[in-house]
């Protein structure tokens, strides 16, 4: 699954993202779980992505 933060004024759909990725990555690396749009990616104070928080958002 991919978590994506959209910029203001940009209209993009999940299908457009998956189509774009399919041109550049192998089948194993495609986002089989889909795409989820979020307001912000949770990060620690050192700037690392908090993957546990992303998993909680998905559940």
Report residue 57's pLDDT band, with 50, 70 and 90 as the boundaries.
Answer: confident
For residues 17-38, one letter each, b for 16 or more C-beta atoms within 10 angstroms of the residue's C-beta and e for the rest, the string is beeeeeeeeeeeeebeeebeee
Tens-digit pLDDT profile for residues 4-50: 999 999 999 999 999 999 999 999 999 998 999 999 999 999 999 99
Q: Spell out the domain ranges in the chain.
A: 2-58
Q: What is the pLDDT of residue 19?
A: 94
pTM flag (> 0.85): no
Domain 2-58 has CATH 2.40.128.720: no
Q: How far is C-alpha 47 from the geometric centre of its chain's CA atoms?
A: 17
């Amino acid at each position: 699954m991919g978590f994506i933060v959209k910029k203001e004024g940009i209209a993009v759909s999940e299908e457009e993202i998956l189509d774009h990725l399919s041109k550049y990555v192998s089948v194993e690396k495609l986002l089989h779980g889909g795409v989820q749009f979020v307001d912000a990616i949770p990060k620690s104070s050192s700037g690392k992505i908090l993957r546990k928080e992303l998993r909680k958002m998905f559940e």
